[in-house]
Amino acid sequence: MALSSTSVAEEHPASRASLERPIDLVHLSRMTLGDRGLEREVLALFDRQATVLVSRMRSASAGAVTSVAHTLKGSARGVGAWRVAAAAEAVEVAASGEGDVSAAITRLAAVAEEARAVIAELLRTN
């Protein structure tokens, strides 16, 4: 079961418009105290981590999937990738026996790829 934008919004002080973007740049700026170099570094780390962790989930046991998804959820929240965080949480729920793990991972991979595309553009232009 995926988190809705409303439940993510209740947990995080982001505007609805921010929740609809792959990366909440206002949140990212707040987390990095406006340091553009740090923003770039954090985004590059998240980009690599998302790739590795989604790949790892595809071949892991249910218990390992839960742990890896939890790690990605925390990282996503740190950079303001709210949709990735919600999809990672949906993977956690599915891996605990409440859903289709494969479908949840596929959804997570799609939203992570969307965030990674935005990150690539941000890193190119900034």
Cα Rg of the chain, angstroms: 14
pLDDT tens-digit profile of 71-92? 999 999 999 999 999 999 999 9
How many domains does the structure of the chain reveal? 1
The two tokens of residue 74 are 């925390």
CATH number of the domain encompassing residue 89: 1.20.120.160
| Domain span including residue 35 | 5-125
Lowest-pLDDT choice from 14-23, 49-58, 74-83, 114-123? 14-23
Mean pLDDT for 106-114 is 98
Does 8 have pLDDT greater than 50?
A: no
